[in-house]
A and B are shown apart, each in its own frame.
Chain A
Amino acid sequence: MHQAPSSLRAVWLLTRLRLLRRFNGLTGAFSWSRFSAKARRKATPAKSRTRWPISLLLVAFIGLSITNQARQTVLNLHGGIDSPQASETIQAEPARAAGAAAQPHMAAGARFSAPLARALALELLLLLLATMCAAFGARELTQADWDMEWLVTLPVKTEALLWGRIIERTLGDVLGIFALWPICSVVAWYSGHGWGAPLVGGVVAFALLPLAAVGHTLIDTGLRLSLSPARLRNVQAIISVVSVLMLLLAFAPGMSASDFGAHFPAFFPEWAMWTPPGLAMRTLNAHGIGEALTPGALLLAQVAIVLVLGVALLRRQLRNGVVASGARESVRGSPAQARAASIERGLRLASPIQWRESMLLLRDRNFLVQTLFMPALIVAPQIVLNVHAGEIPAFLNSAPAIASIAFGIAAYALLFSAMQTLNAEGGALWLLYSFPRSIESVLREKAALWAGLALIYPLVVIGIGAWYTQDSAMHVVGHASMALLGVPIFAVIAVALGVFGSDPLAAEPSKRLRLTFMYLYMALAGIYASAIMIATWWQAVAFVVLTLLLALALWQKARDELPFLLDPAASPPARVSTSDGLIAAMVFFVLQIVIAASVFAVTGALSGYALLLSFAGAGAVTYLLARYVYWRAKTEAVPVVFDGPVGPALRLGVVTGVTAAAAALVYIVVAQQFGLIDDLSANRPSDRLTLLWFALLAVVAAPVFEEFIFRGLVFGGLRRSFGVVPAAVASAAVFAIVHPPPSMLPVFVLGIFAALAYERSRALLAPMTTHALYNAIVVGYQVFGLQVPAAS
């Protein structure tokens, strides 16, 4: 028998194991064995979906935003505490509060005033507490701690295990690092450490993190061992609420221009500057090593004492064994169950799937809090803070703002409910596969349920806002309906993105939903919320339509993915889908604007010729990109130009083209009579070469590329799931939206005819002819045609 490892070595081994595990998780499927042809299969290789460059980008992005937030916090605290006159100015002139004139400024290298130091120390304390509590949000608290149970079977002293656990929680606490490092670095910067600020900040932050780890472990272990599972769930819910409140409090000074932070020093007495957060502040703000030595050494000493005491306490907690009850409580016979049973009977009205989701919501207190209470919890303080700054009249008066916030809350609620809906199945996903129903129909019912629940908040908020606002009723109704329509649309988007982002085969629940898709969802929701705020009514209509289309496109792609969810190796075959078309349309739209803007910048004029060039150019680039992507992915059913005899296709194109052009001409004549459209004949190019170029662009280039995108991709993708009429109307709508407003209506008509031509001939030649003829006739008329006197 050889020697058991010394405690120190055991701690090192445990920590190394944990860090290795985390490292493996981050780098994911980046395995070297794939390069060795003779690699024997040991276990089923995972689909290579972990894209670590994106994770890296995400980390960088989050780090930067938090650092910026921290900087803002420090500046605002300085402004609020050290120059109260400045804050009064802010109160008196709310309009200027956001301006740079009232922005507090702080020179780096300054010594902080005592109140400011206290306020920042309180800030550190809040972040520390928030970190400690946030770790309880995960569901695993109520499950047996198999980890500890297994580790105690090793020939290692319990103390070593506990030290290892605390060290691992210090080093591996991502949230803690994100919470403390930026602000310590910012404080170090303003204390004059210059480029060494991150290093100094990092040292201090890592000196503070063990405190959070000890606290977390103590509470964690204590709770597991002493509470019944029912109480545990409730406590967990309370703790997660507390952590969010702490985080909000901590970030509050940085978020609003109010003098909220001025109250901070009052809550942090002078003697508290000798506690770890205070000492950390003093170390950071010290000038030179000599001054930093005393508080720094004291800080380390205090942290060491806390660690030793903590481990001793833990040892005492575990003296009776490591295993807790572990099981969920027995649900029979308690009086609370009788009351719950009547609610449950009422819920039977919903479909079985919706009933099941509601049961989960009611019984899993933590889930309930996260989904239904958190949104209110996050938004209410924001409103309260803004009230404090005197902005209440402006905010409650504005229908767009109310509607936007209402939508924001609902979108946030959906993030935790609808997006997780596939994940929530967990290991029981196999049960869904055994039912004689398509998984898609199940997801549809879930989306409906969550959309319904998520609507509660906006309805309440809009109701309150409508009561107070002085905007006209039409105004309120208009914006409110955009917000309310957005909720079911985003429920669909959330579920679809949840399907893409979920990895049901992942063992660790926390790894199951990929952050990229959560971020994408938040970005989309943010865009929609801002659109509610700023769009004119016709823009709003267009936006809602586009978002609806996007939702349907994503749903279609998710549906393709569903049969392959549990298969680690197979993926759906690449097919042309509506989302491809929408992406292509968006790329086209953006490129067209860019090219037009460049031409404008170069020539100083935006002639019809320039517009045409921008269309053709954008079309060409998009077309080539799409072709390339499809070629790489070996996509099936890519739209073809020729299919069958050329003659009938050409005839079809001619007929539809002439009809559409005729309709357009009528429109133009009428519109020119009313002065709605400028007479473009003044822009007629003078020389033959330009003329030829012009004609080529209008009749050949633009139709070829645009037809591929709008008829081939958008219409074709829609046609996979919808009938001719809806698909034609939708694709024509998208087509019209990317054109300048005066020409939207005739272009919409062209879109419909071209779609019908594509439908009849199943190839792109016909719609291309339609489009080419239309362009030739309409543009030719506008540039060369009869001068129709415009109405004066």
Chain B
Amino acid sequence: MIRFEELTKTYGQFTAVNRLSLTIPAGEVFGFLGPNGAGKTTTIRMMMGILVPSGGRVLVDGLDCHGERAQVQRRVGYLPDNPIFYDYLRGREILQFVAEMHGYPRREAADRARQTMADFALQDAADEFAVNYSLGMRKKLGLACALVHEPKVLILDEPMNGLDPRSSRDLQDRLREIAAQGTTIFLSTHLLDIAERICGRIGIIHHGELVATGTTATIKQQVSASADASLEDAFLEITAEA
């Protein structure tokens, strides 16, 4: 479903992402882990066509994310790490706008918006200007925008960042539901316990290079043979500065 082919991004002398190659089959929940500044957000932005790859390419459902961005967006829902919304617009208006921009006719878009807001328990705040939302509510609204068109692929950039425990748990449950329906989920995070809980496979990126891939069990085994090794230890070991 998602295929990275030697994806590279350089800024002058500095390489942010270095020849990333990876394949993610449909229906998988893939966790993209890494320290700060490792290149996670850069990779995701290249998938969304916001950044232009310096080399290689990334394909979603066989389509090039840079060359055929508009087609790719039909299949993709995106949640950035800090969703900022338009000023002077209410939550439900923004959601309806997004649904209409994805091609739904007006009435249907309005219905979808209402339904999705109810799903996310946002109907009370629906008439509030989006700029007044707290971070958690903005993330929920962002996720609603990402899901309103029932995409095949969900791309999330640090979705749990800044959420309180209940919201975080709600989000995890929802992601599991969505994955169970066959959606491919690609999420970046540095919260290891959550990655362990919801991801099928994880990949660890360090200084722009993919240094480890596999299930959490596989990765833990790479570092220590004992059964109760934590992912945290494994992660710190793998991403230690040489």
Contact = CB atoms under 8 A, between A and B. Distances in A.
A352 B89 CA distance: 13
Nearest to B14: A41
A44 B11 contact: yes
Contacts of A434: 48, 73, 76-78, 145-146
A80 B129 CA distance: 54
Interface string B43-87: 001001111101000000000001001110110111010011111
Contacts of A436: 70-71, 73-74, 101-103
A55 to B, nearest CB: 24
Interface stretch (B92-100, B190-198, B224-232): B92-100
Interface string A741-770: 000000000000000000000000000000
A360 B88 contact: yes
B101 A437 contact: yes
A742 to B, nearest CB: 50
B169 interface: no
A430 B50 contact: yes
B106 interface: yes
A331 interface: yes
A427 B51 contact: no
Contacts of A428: 84-86
Contact of B131 (A41, A328, A567): A328
B88 A427 contact: no
B23 interface: no
A563 B89 contact: no
A434 B80 CA distance: 10
Given A356-B86, A426-B87, A332 B50 contact: no
A563 to B, nearest CB: 7
A570 interface: yes
Contacts of A356: 86, 89, 97
A348 B105 CA distance: 12
Given A39-B13, A360-B87, A566-B45, 9 more contacts: A332-B128, A356-B86, A363-B88, A431-B145, A434-B73, A435-B101, A436-B70, A563-B49, A567-B51
Contacts of B89: 356, 359-360
A564 B53 CA distance: 11
Contacts of A352: 97, 100-101
Contacts of B78: 430, 434
Contacts of B73: 433-437
Nearest to B146: A434
Interface residues of A, number: 38
A229 to B, nearest CB: 10
B90 interface: yes
B165 interface: no
A45 B145 CA distance: 31
A356 to B, nearest CB: 6
A569 interface: yes
B132 interface: yes
A39 B13 CA distance: 9
Interface in A328-361: 328, 330-332, 348, 352-353, 355-356, 359-360
A41 B70 contact: no
Contacts of A328: 129, 131-132
Nearest to A38: B13
Most interface-central of B66, B70, B73 (chain A CB within 10 A): B70
A327 interface: yes
29 contacts: A41-B11, A41-B14, A44-B11, A331-B129, A332-B128, A348-B106, A352-B97, A356-B86, A360-B86, A360-B88, A425-B86, A428-B85, A428-B86, A430-B48, A430-B78, A431-B86, A431-B98, A431-B145, A434-B76, A434-B146, A435-B73, A435-B98, A435-B101, A436-B71, A436-B73, A438-B69, A563-B52, A563-B66, A566-B51
A269 interface: no
Interface residues of B, number: 45
A427 B80 CA distance: 11
Contacts of A44: 11
Contacts of B237: none
Nearest to A43: B37
B48 A332 contact: no
A359 B87 CA distance: 10
| Nearest 3 CB-CB pairings of A with B | A427-B84, A41-B14, A352-B100
A780 interface: no
A435 B75 CA distance: 10
A434 to B, nearest CB: 5
Contacts of B100: 352
B69 A563 contact: yes
Interface string B117-145: 00000000001110110000000000001
B128 A330 contact: yes
A433 B86 contact: no
Nearest to B96: A352
A331 B128 contact: yes
Interface string B12-31: 11100000000000000000
A25 interface: no
A364 interface: yes
A785 interface: no
Nearest to A361: B88
A332 B127 contact: yes
A569 B84 contact: no
A512 to B, nearest CB: 14
Contact of B69 (A364, A426, A433): A433
Contacts of A45: 11-12
A359 B70 contact: no
B52 A567 contact: yes
Contact of A564 (B52, B88, B93): B52
Nearest to A572: B52
A48 to B, nearest CB: 11
Interface in B176-234: none
B50 A566 contact: yes
A143 to B, nearest CB: 9
A568 interface: yes
Most interface-central of A45, A327, A355, A433 (chain B CB within 10 A): A433
Interface string A414-431: 000000000001111011
Given A45-B12, A331-B129, A435 B50 contact: no
A44 B129 CA distance: 32
B54 A570 contact: yes
A353 B106 CA distance: 13
Contacts of A433: 48-50, 69, 73
Nearest to A349: B106
A526 B150 CA distance: 50
Nearest to A430: B80
Interface in A411-462: 425-428, 430-431, 433-438
Interface string A560-598: 000110111110000000000000000000000000000
Nearest to A441: B70
A330 B130 CA distance: 11
Contacts of B52: 563-564, 567, 570
Contacts of A330: 128, 132
A426 B54 contact: no
Contacts of B128: 330-332
A568 to B, nearest CB: 7
A431 B51 contact: no
A331 B133 CA distance: 13
A47 to B, nearest CB: 10
Contact of B11 (A353, A426, A430, A568): A568
Nearest to B129: A328
Contacts of B86: 356, 360, 425-426, 428, 431
Nearest to A440: B70
A632 B101 CA distance: 41
Nearest to B51: A567
A364 B48 contact: no
B101 A331 contact: no
Contact of A364 (B11, B12, B74, B87): B87
A352 B101 CA distance: 7
Contacts of A566: 45, 50-51
A436 B48 CA distance: 11
